[in-house]
Amino acid sequence: MVVVGGDAAGMSAASQARRRRDADDLEIVAFERGGHTSYSACGLPYYAGDVVKDWRPLVARTPAQFAERDIDARTRHEVEAIDLRSRRVRDLAAGRSSEEPWDVLVVATGAEPLRPPIPGIDLPGVHGLSVLQDGIDLREAVDAGPRRAVVVGGGDIGLEAAEALVNRGVPTALVEAGPQVMGRIDPDMGALVSQAVRDVGVELHTEEKVEAIEGDGGVRAVRTAARTLEADLVVLGLGTRPAVGLARAAGMTLGPSGAIAVNPRMRTPHEGVWAAGDCVEARHVVSGLPVNYHLGTIANKQGRVCGINIGGGYATFPGVAGTAVSKICDVEVARTGLSEAELRPLGLEWESATVDSTTRAGYFPGAAPIRTKVLAERRSGRLLGAQIVGREGAAKRIDVFATAIWNGMAVDEMVNLDLSYAPPFSPVWDPVLIAVRKLSEQVERTLRDCL
């Protein structure tokens, strides 16, 4: 078994396969072009921000630990080509190419950050935040005490980078091309997050595109159509795309989302070839359409499924709801299912309700605001999506909505869900229940009007 990509999906697949087949039966070699295996990219902003003091605990398992389990994880080995016919990969290490044969191949090359051809994007001082080394480099740059930073892009990674910089006392501006930060949630909810960004002292510029990064031997400023922002440190958070260059060159089938097509067992249409993680597409449980999300939650599960199947077991990956949480300082943001922008092209009709509540009983110390938005199909009341913006304790409530979406529940079925309550944790009517109650009343009214 040859694995291309030594992080979440690839090494989960390797570990699961090893649990089911011992080394006499299955030899496992994993190629990772970076210097580390099984690292938590999700922890990188917190390392840069000094919340996590040391990068080493971000590595869940080193090549030496894999070796103890008879998994040969080779770092600084870049797979340059996959040959589906001769069943070999060509890999490059320390300037030398060599070939490795396989009976079973797992492509787990992840996602790659978008780097549009903006003049100056390759200047020293411009950082991405994708692999572990990027986090180590960014941390060093922040430790060196930059005078001003600009974050480009207001998605999850951009916001987490902005939080890190603010926490380290670096004056920071954030430039976002869209009308609000967090473009994956609806603009009315995104506006709350934009306000939170401003409230923590980040100079936020929305509806502005970066035209150039200026400097000479090092970054000096970021230019948009409207202004020039001085900066000696720039962090890019412009989004990611599936890393499918290798798969495409090998002639592997890509799906409509542009990611590698797999069946529910994570097998590609090519004999002996499997794929998992950010580089593959999955079925969205609400729309039924193929999508490509870049989330560690999904990559780990897909890698596990892939490894179980390679190990001789039977497992399937049913799909994704796009559940994700993030935060900017004290403000938590969560989403699951589809947003209004995502629903529009599907031709579905929906109702939405937004409610303001508190994270704890209103009288209880620490009760903080939480806004919950829920979307349901107009006639059936089927829950289609939910978004939450609030303070401590807000975000993980999204998991109730995710579970309901997963099970195809309608909002009226959710109203009497037996959710927990005590004053330090929630009001007696949890914000989840208040939101679905309001929406279910709306759905009922619409139904009555139709009759």
Ligand X SMILES: Cc1cc2nc3c(=O)[nH]c(=O)nc-3n(C[C@H](O)[C@H](O)[C@H](O)COP(=O)(O)OP(=O)(O)OC[C@H]3O[C@@H](n4cnc5c(N)ncnc54)[C@H](O)[C@@H]3O)c2cc1C
Using the rule CB under 6 A, is 4 a contact of ligand X? yes
Q: If you ran DSSP here, which 8-state letter would residue 264 be given? A: T
Per-residue x/- mask for ligand X, residues 297 to 316, rule CB under 6 A?
A: x-x-----------------
Rg (CA), the chain: 23
Minimum CB distance to ligand X, residue 439 (Å): 27
Minimum CB distance to ligand X, residue 249 (Å): 10
In the complex with ligand X, the residue whose CB is nearer, 45 or 390, is 45
Applying CB under 6 A, which of residues 13, 14, 28, 31 lies at the interface with ligand X?
Answer: 31
Task: Please classify residue 420 by burial: count the beta carbons closer than 10 Å to its beta carbon, then call 0-12 exposed, 13-18 middle and 19+ buried.
Answer: exposed
Residue-by-residue DSSP string for 331-381? EEEEEEE--HHHHGGGT--EEEEEEEEESS-TTSTT--EEEEEEEEETTT-
Residue-by-residue DSSP string for 172-185? EEEE-SSSSS-TTS
Nearest-angstrom CA–CA distance, 78 and 172 = 35
Residues numbered 94 to 123 that lie near ligand X (CB under 6 A) are 108-111
Pairing mode of beta strands 28-32, 2-4: parallel
Minimum CB distance to ligand X, residue 21 (Å): 21
414 closest CA partner among 427, 402, 428: 402
Using the rule CB under 6 A, is 33 a contact of ligand X? yes
Phi, psi of 31 (to 5 degrees): -105, 130
Per-residue x/- mask for ligand X, residues 178 to 217, rule CB under 6 A?
A: ----------------------------------------
Which ranges of 223-319 does DSSP label H, i.e. alpha helix?
A: 245-249, 296-310
From 127-135, 138-146, 306-314, 443-451, span contacting ligand X (CB under 6 A)? 127-135
Applying CB under 6 A, which of residues 20, 27, 42, 65 lies at the interface with ligand X?
Answer: 42
Q: Are 241 and 116 in contact (CB under 8 A)?
A: no
Applying CB under 6 A, which of residues 10, 120, 154, 431 lies at the interface with ligand X?
Answer: 10
Nearest-angstrom CA–CA distance, 85 and 271 = 10
Query: How many chain residues touch ligand X (CB under 6 A)?
Result: 34
> Helix 156-167 to helix 187-199 angle, to the nearest 10 degrees?
10
Applying CB under 6 A, which of residues 1, 8, 141, 405 lies at the interface with ligand X?
Answer: 8
Applying CB under 6 A, which of residues 2, 45, 159, 236 lies at the interface with ligand X?
Answer: 45
Minimum CB distance to ligand X, residue 428 (Å): 31
From 57-65, 163-171, 183-191, 292-300, span contacting ligand X (CB under 6 A)? 292-300
Using the rule CB under 6 A, is 78 a contact of ligand X? yes
List all residues 6 or more positions away from 165 whose beta carbon is below 8 Å from its beta carbon.
48, 49, 142, 149, 151, 172, 233, 235
Nearest-angstrom CA–CA distance, 408 and 403 = 9
In the complex with ligand X, the residue whose CB is nearer, 159 or 411, is 159
In the complex with ligand X, the residue whose CB is nearer, 131 or 400, is 131
Q: Are 3 and 11 in contact (CB under 8 A)?
A: yes
In the structure, how many helices (H) and strands (E) does the chain have? 12, 25
* Catalytic sites, residue numbers: 42
Using the rule CB under 6 A, is 294 a contact of ligand X? yes
In the complex with ligand X, the residue whose CB is nearer, 100 or 441, is 100
Minimum CB distance to ligand X, residue 322 (Å): 11
Residues numbered 148 to 177 that lie near ligand X (CB under 6 A) are 157
The residues of the shown chain that bind ligand X, judged by CB under 6 A, are 4-10, 31-34, 41-42, 44-45, 78-79, 108-111, 129-131, 157, 243, 246, 277-278, 294-297, 299
